[in-house]
């Protein structure tokens, strides 16, 4: 008795976040009883991957919809295996994925780390716009430091650089001008990120993969992107698949003996 031919039809659909340029690859390999689904994360920080399967004559060794946290620089991380239920029948599958930097399950971190002010010793700059301001910081815990273009920007904390954009030179105040922002993002050991924005064209002193130390010179400030004047925009945040959680953080001020949350319209001198 002849068996009917078995057909294997595979549909694969990918859906990435705004961080689509990050280097994450999801793929599958066939084995005797089905398919292994893997991910390569070539980023210098963890990433979160949500995968949703539509299976026909296959079962997953994990839930059909699940979020996975992939460590930094991880290759061939097994997401799940898809096992054929009835080998005498055809089977097929498709899946959708959403990917973003960070740990999707990390909702808060201890607020006991003392960040450095993002400029050099004996410098003093004012916070033009503070946390949850009524201007462009509505609903955002971010700080804008007024400073002349070309001012040295210092790392507020140790970390690894995961993104650098420095090719832009346009500035304007329309919402869509954010696409012209020059920026760099640093990943910290506690799962938070720091984003430094608006520095001058080709003003970065670091590149992706560099490990930076607190107080290291990382960029030169500017007036690029959605900006009405020379300043540094700084955000400390956690990243979920679908949202950014910005954080209020404490900075060392004066001689480095005081740790405080910075206030809008106040100037802070760094003497350390």
What integer pLDDT is reported at residue 33 of this predicted model? 95
3-state secondary structure of 245: strand
Confidence label for 134 from pLDDT (cuts 50, 70 and 90):
confident
**Domain boundaries of the chain, sorted by first residue:** 11-101, 114-270
Q: What is the DSSP string of 170-220?
A: -EE-SGGGGGG--EEEEE-TTS-EEEEE-PPTT-BS--TT-EE-TT-EEEE
Contact between 128 and 207 under an 8 Å Cβ cutoff? The reply is no
Q: Write down the pTM of the prediction.
A: 0.91
Contact between 209 and 161 under an 8 Å Cβ cutoff? The reply is yes
What integer pLDDT is reported at residue 20 of this predicted model? 52
3-state secondary structure of 152: strand
Distance CA 155, CA 169 (A): 22
Confidence label for 9 from pLDDT (cuts 50, 70 and 90):
very low
Do 11-101 and 114-270 show the same overall fold? no
Confidence label for 22 from pLDDT (cuts 50, 70 and 90):
confident
Give the rounded percent of residues in the chain with a pLDDT score beyond 70: 92
Confidence label for 199 from pLDDT (cuts 50, 70 and 90):
very high
Q: Which CATH class is domain 11-101?
A: mainly beta
Neighbour tally for 14: CB within 10 Å: 13
The hierarchical CATH code for the domain 114-270 is 2.70.70.10
Confidence label for 3 from pLDDT (cuts 50, 70 and 90):
very low
pLDDT for residue 168 is more than 80:
yes
Confidence label for 12 from pLDDT (cuts 50, 70 and 90):
very low
Contact between 258 and 269 under an 8 Å Cβ cutoff? The reply is no
Mind listing the pLDDT tens digit for each residue in 209-252? 999 999 999 999 999 999 989 999 999 999 999 999 999 999 99
Distance CA 262, CA 131 (A): 8
- State the pairing for strand pair 91-101/171-172: unpaired
pLDDT for residue 7 is more than 70:
no
Mind listing the pLDDT tens digit for each residue in 38-47? 999 999 999 9
DSSP structure class, residue 66: E
């Amino acid at each position: 008795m002849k068996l009917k031919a078995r057909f294997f039809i595979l549909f694969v659909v990918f859906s990435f976040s705004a961080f689509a340029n990050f280097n994450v690859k999801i793929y599958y390999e066939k084995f005797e009883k089905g398919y292994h689904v893997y991910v390569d994360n070539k980023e210098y920080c963890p990433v979160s991957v949500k995968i949703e399967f539509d299976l026909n004559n296959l079962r997953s060794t994990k839930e059909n919809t699940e979020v996975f946290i992939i460590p930094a620089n991880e290759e061939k991380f097994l997401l799940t295996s898809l096992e054929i239920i009835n080998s005498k029948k055809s089977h097929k599958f498709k899946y959708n994925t959403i990917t973003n930097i960070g740990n999707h399950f990390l909702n808060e971190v201890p607020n006991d780390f003392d960040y450095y002010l993002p400029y050099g010793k004996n410098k003093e700059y004012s916070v033009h716009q503070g946390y949850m301001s009524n201007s462009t910081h509505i609903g955002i815990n971010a700080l804008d430091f007024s400073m002349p273009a070309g001012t040295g920007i210092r790392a507020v904390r140790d970390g690894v650089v995961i993104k650098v954009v420095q090719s832009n030179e346009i500035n304007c105040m329309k919402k869509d001008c954010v696409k012209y922002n020059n920026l760099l993002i640093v990943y910290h050991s506690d799962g938070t990120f720091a984003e430094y924005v608006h520095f001058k064209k080709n003003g970065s002193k670091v590149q992706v993969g560099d490990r930076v130390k607190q107080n290291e010179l990382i960029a030169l400030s500017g007036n690029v992107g959605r900006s009405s004047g020379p300043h540094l925009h700084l955000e400390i945040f956690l990243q979920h698949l679908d949202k950014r959680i910005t954080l209020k953080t404490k900075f060392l001020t004066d001689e480095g003996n005081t740790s405080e949350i910075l206030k809008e319209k106040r100037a802070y001198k760094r003497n350390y």
